Structures are given as C-alpha cells and as structure tokens.
Structure 1
Amino acid sequence: MLLFSLFLIFSCDVCVSEKSDLGYGLNIGNAIDVFANYGDLSQVTQVVSADYEDEKQEPTVPFSEKNIRVFTNATSSEDNNEASSQMDILLCETFENLLDTYFSNFKIEGTDKPWKAFMGDWIFDEMLRTLGIIYDGKGDNCCYVLIKLTKIHKSVKLDDLSQVTIKDYVETAIDELDFRDPIKVRKFMKSYGTHYIDSYVTGNFIYQVFKYKRNWFNILKAKIRNARHTGSSNLRIYFSSIFLTQVGDIKIASGNKTVEDWARRNLRDSQYLYSRPSLLRLQYSPKLTSKLNQFLDNGALLGLSLKTLRPLFRDRRKGNLYAELVENDLQLWEVNA
C-alpha cells in the first residue's frame, strides 16, 4: 500500500511538472510539434494580415502555438531594438518566389519551403488575398515586386546547448522510447515536439505587392540594377499603369486594420488623372515615413528558426535517427502541401 501511494505521488509530480512547463507564447528553447498545425501555422503565428468579418479585433500576439520546456538550464541572448524602420524593394520572378521571399526569415530544419508550413493548406485565392492581390487569371507568367517597411523590436537567440540538461520527465520518456518503432517515435513527437525554438524576431512590417508581365518586370529589374551602381532611385514611372498588371492592397503583418486604413488614406501616389495607395510614396516623404514608423508596433512575428530536437539525445545515434524521421516526414508533408 505504501509503495502504491509513493507511485501515485511520483506520477502526480511528473504531471504537474509537465503542465507547468507548457506554454503558448514565444518561449525560447521550448519545443513544438511542427506537424500539429503544418500547412496553417499562420493560424497560431501572426505573420500575415487577414480579413476580419467583425470590426472588433482581438489584440494580436506574434505566437500562440503550444510548446513545452524540454531543456532545464538553457540561456539566450536578447537584443531590443527601437531603431527606425527599413524599406525594401524585393523582386520575385514567380508567385512561389514571392512566398519564399515573404518567409525568407523563417527557417525550419528539414524543409526547403518554410512558407508551406504556414500557408500550404490555403487555397490559391486565399494566399493571393492575404498578400493584397486579386486573382485575375493572369498568374502563369507574371512576376511580382514586394515592397515592405519593416521595424524590428526584439531579437532573441538561444545560446550554446552543449552543456544543457534535459527535463527529467523528458529523459524518462527518451529512455523508454523504442527507436525501432516509428509509431512510438511519432507518438513521442506529439508529446514532446519535433523542433525547438532556436531564435525569433518580433516587430511589424507593412507591405504591398505589385504584379507585372514578365517583359516589363525585366525592364524594372535592369533599372534597379543600374540604380544600385549610379545611386539613382527614381523608380516611380516603373510603378505606373503603363508597366503594372495589378496594384496590390496595402497590408500590415500584424493585421492592424487601423494602420492599414491610415496607409491607404495617406500614402496615395497621384499619376495622371487618378491616385492610388502606394508604399512607394514613402520614398518621397520622410514625414510620412516617420509617422508610419510610430505605428509599427511589436504585433507580428518577423522571423523564426526551428531546429530538430537532436540535443535532447545524449546518444548521438539516437538523435540522428530521431531527426532523420522528423525530416523525412517533413519532406513528405512539404511535397503534399
């Protein structure tokens, strides 16, 4: 009877410990199961804007995926940055290249297409809309330009893991794990994760996509290449209706509709007989850039690096076997997304 009571107490301690180590925010070093929301990680991370049916918006948080603390004494380095924003003009040869570029600061070990983890389950029309463009049936041979104004607030990077210790209940689960049984290994993945958060960047950015036919896109590309040599950056004519197939809507990564509405009203570029919202307006108005910079809060996830849970395993062979199964599954999911 005494032994039975001690077993119950021990079991409850483990349960309480695991529960207290569960989180839903950006906890550096914590582990997540990438497969839990693969194809729609944007549902639990604030990485793209979205359309809301209700005018009342809940406050956004950059990250809300379930994660678990697996390392006992992991440390990290943090850089808080309240510097001014940075504007980028990014050329994309195809729509998939546009998605690669948008998610260029996201790394998931084992996959070559991180954007598929975030939006792979979305239909094409949904992906277009969240990037501010409308399907017009002309996407086969079109190119894109992504303009964005980015402000980084915080960067966090995990320190070296060579001397870390593992949570007791995780070590117990590893000791009991039969690596010859893929079903049991995948069950372990669901309980303790596939990857750990190695680094992340939060802040915000406002963006706009411009769509081109390939011949006009090539002219713009040559102009930008020449501008880098000459220092000239007067690109306005190349963003006029003469060259463009479509002008995308202005969006913000945090999804803040108030800021999006402000940008549409104030960042208007007048050409010929009409005007339209354009982030290119910021190139000619330091005052508007400064004002918009104030609106870029810490509401979005700008970058994320996830690494497979090799460091959990003291036996390097077992760590490699685990990572191999995770990465093989990821490749399959990536192909099918």
Structure 2
Amino acid sequence: MCYKMLVVYFVVLFCSVLCDSEEDDDLGYGLTIGNAIDVFANYGDLSQVTQVVSADYEGYDSREVVVPFNERNIRVFVNVTSKESTSDGITDMDVLLCETFDDLLNAYFRNFRIEGTDKPWKAFMGDWIHDEIMRTFGIVYDSNPDNCCYVLVKLTKRHKTVELDDIEGAAAKDYVSRAIEDLNVSDTSEIRRFMRSYGTHYIDSYVTGNFIYQVFKYKRTGYNMLRSYIRIRNSRRTRPDNLRFYFSSYFLKQVGDIRIASGNKTIEDWARNNLRDVQYLYSRPSLLRLHYNPVLVNKLNELMDNGALLGLGLKTLRPLFKDRHKADKYAEIVENDLQLWEINA
C-alpha cells in the first residue's frame, strides 16, 4: 500500500514538473500574435514596455537596441494561425484635428484597441503627469491644456502588419484548460489571480514600423479656419494647396518639437536641422517641409528604423472558455476593472 502511494506521489510530482516546464517555455517578452498579457500589470505605464512614444527617460541610452514590445506574455492557445504582410515606405501625411488635449491623445493612439476600454491611451500613459506627456509630444507644459486646440501632423512608415485568423475553435493549452476548469468565477479574487497568471487579453493584431510626428497648438479662431480649409480642400481637389499658410504664426500659439515614435534621437536631430520652414523672420522645424519636398521624404524613408509599435489590438480571453457562463463572467470582471482603472487613471 505504501509502495503504491509512493508511486502515485512521484507520478503526480513528475506531471507537475512537466507542466511547470511547459508553462515556463511558453513565457516570453517578445511580440507574439495570440499570446496573452495582463493589461493591469503595467496599466497606466504600458509605454515603458512598448515603444509607442519618443521620450527622454532618465538614463536613456541612444546606443541601446529599441524593440517595439517588451511585456511579459504567455502562450495560451495551441493552434492559432495568422496572416502577415510587410511594406516598406512612408505613406501620406496625416493632419489630425484635435479640439482638446484629450482628443490629441485619442488621435495619437487611434490604432490601439483594448477590448473593454474606450481610452486605450490611458493604459499607456494614464499614470504620467501632464508635464511628462506634453514633453513627450514636444510641447511646453500648460496648466490648462484645453484653452487651445491641437493639430497632430505625422508621417508613417509601416513595416509589418500581423492579424490573427478566426479564433473560433482554437484550443487552449492543457495547463490553461485545467486552470479554467478549476476556476470559481463566483469568486472575484480567484478570477484576478487567474488574470495575473494567464493574462486578461490576447494579442489579436499588431503593426510595427515607425512614424515621425509634430504637434501644433492653435488659437481657436486659427483652428476653425484650418478646419474649414481642409474641408473645402478635401471636396475640391483641384484647388491650389495653401496648407502652409494655415500653419503660420498668425494662427498658432506654439510649434511643437519634431519627435519620432521609436525615440531615435539621430533621426530627430536630422529632422530639426533639415526640415526648417522659413516664414517672415521666423525659422523653425516643421514637418510640412515634407509635404512639398519628395527628396526629403525619400531621405527620411532611408533613415527611419522599425523600432516602434504603431498599432495593437487586444481582446479579452473569452475564447479560452468553453463554458459560456464562465466566459461571460470572466469578461465582465475584466471589463469592469478596466472601466474603473480608466476612470481613476
């Protein structure tokens, strides 16, 4: 009898070691489609583990290799497939109109989607003070940021776009299935322990590459005139292009510094020196130079690296759960927590 119990003990211990080993093998920090992350682990400061903005962090070293994504993630599905496309070249210039500072943040993170939250930017920068955020956008601190309007100008160079195929029918890893089977969804503390172990969301899509950006702060009247001009220009493509006129000092309160999403200071320095716009007595860096000079666009295209995350789609781990009641309850807790964190960020 004792011998049998000893055999059972060693079998259980051996299986446990195998499971732990398999789980360790599935842990990583790179950008892997279908893998799961715990959004709450770095909520409010995801920009520290994803390269999404240019920032002068304390101890920043330009010699370090920049990677777009460096967040702990775990493989939770067995058999997911994805489609991938690559491109190489700068796309058209985007001129994004933002009536408030919150609109500016939403515009910057418009290609980031986190199921359960309406403001993905808060997951990345919600814990930052306004001074830090404004410095990241190349503008000086303003205690009342909504007393003016903003225009975000950017040129994007996409490198890789990856999207998960239909996940219906995808099987969960064995150790995840066992954890779900043992999960008591009536106990919120148990659900949150599961989140910390296996994540809250899986990576449904991502885009890597880079983009260069600049923020212009506008007086309300100047902003309204620019908005009207763009509306007319878009409806009548044959009209002369007077866009540069609406970016003159007469309409502006401040011209932000040129920044690049990967944080590459060499490219930022090049842009400040080569993209200077001269108007009357003023000379200042402006991305509008690229609107009129294809030679500079080609040069910038050669310089730009692929060190930034341009878009990210995260969906809750609902497909892991075969029991619909458990799936709904899990997603409800995740989304409710996200809403609370969003409000408090």
Q: TM-score, normalised by structure 2?
A: 0.95
Q: Does 1:58 align with 2:60?
A: no
1:109 aligns with 2:115: yes
Q: Larger deviation: 263-272 or 127-136? A: 127-136
- The Cα of 1:85 is off from its aligned counterpart by 2.8
Task: Give yes or no for contact 2:90–2:155 (8 Å, CA) kept in 1.
Answer: no
Query: Which residue of 66, 76, 80 maps to 1:74?
Result: 80
SS at match of 1:85: strand
- Tell me how far 1:137 sits from its aligned partner: 4.4
Letter in 1 for 2:193: K
Contact 1:85 1:293 in 2 (8 A): no
Q: CA shift at 1:138, angstroms?
A: 5.3
1:251 equivalent in structure 2: 259
Q: Deviations over 1:64-119 (max 9, x none)?
A: 10000000011110011124432111100100000000000000000000000000
Matched, 1:157 2:156: no
Q: 1:141 to 1:308 in 2, by over 3 A?
A: same
Describe the SS at the equivalent of 1:211: strand
- Aligned residue for 1:255, secondary structure, equals coil
Given the alignment of the two structures, is residue 312 of structure 1 paired with residue 317 of structure 2, yes or no?
no
Secondary structure of residue in 2 paired with 1:294? helix
| Rounded Cα–Cα distance in structure 2 between residues aligned with 1:100 and 1:318 | 32
Match for residue 2 of structure 1 among 4, 7, 14 = 7
Q: In structure 2, which of residues 258, 272, 276 is the aligned counterpart of residue 264 of structure 1?
A: 272
Q: Any conservation in 1 of the 2:50–2:69 contact (CA below 8 Å)? A: yes
Alignment of 1:110-189 (within 5 A): 110-137=116-143, 139-189=145-195
SS in 1 for 2:203: strand
Q: How far apart, CA to CA, are the structure 1 residues paired with 2:235 and 2:256?
A: 29
Q: CA deviation at 1:336?
A: 0.3
For the residues of structure 1 that align with 2:20 and 2:334, how far apart are their CA atoms?
26
Cα RMSD between the aligned structures? 1.1
What is the match of residue 40 of structure 2? 35
Instruction: Describe how 1:164-313 pairs up with structure 2 within 5 A.
Output: 164-231=170-237, 232-313=240-321
Distance in 2 between residues matched to 1:248 and 1:182, nearest whole Å: 45
In 2 relative to 1, CA 327–55 (structure 1 residues): closer, same or farther, beyond 3 Å?
Answer: closer
What is the match of residue 54 of structure 2?
Answer: 49
Question: What letter is aligned with 1:284?
Answer: Y
Query: Partner letter of residue 320 of structure 2?
Result: L
Contact 2:91/2:155 (8 A) holds in 1: yes
Asked if 1:100 corresponds to 2:102, the answer is no
The CA distance in 2 between the partners of 1:235 and 1:137, in whole Å, is 30
Q: Secondary structure at the match of 2:47?
A: helix
Q: How many angstroms apart in 1 are the aligned matches of 2:7 and 2:281?
A: 88
Of the structure 1 ranges 228-237 and 37-46, higher mean CA displacement relative to structure 2 is found in: 228-237
Q: Which runs of 5+ in 1 are unaligned?
A: none
State the number of aligned residues: 337
Match in the other structure for 1:22: 27
The answer to whether the 8 A contact 1:91-1:221 is kept is: yes
CA distance in 1: counterparts of 2:337 and 2:144, whole angstroms: 34
Deviation of the 1:312 alpha carbon:
0.4
Give CA-to-partner distance per residue, 1:282-330, whole Å, 9 cap, x none.
1111100111111222110000000000100011121011000000000
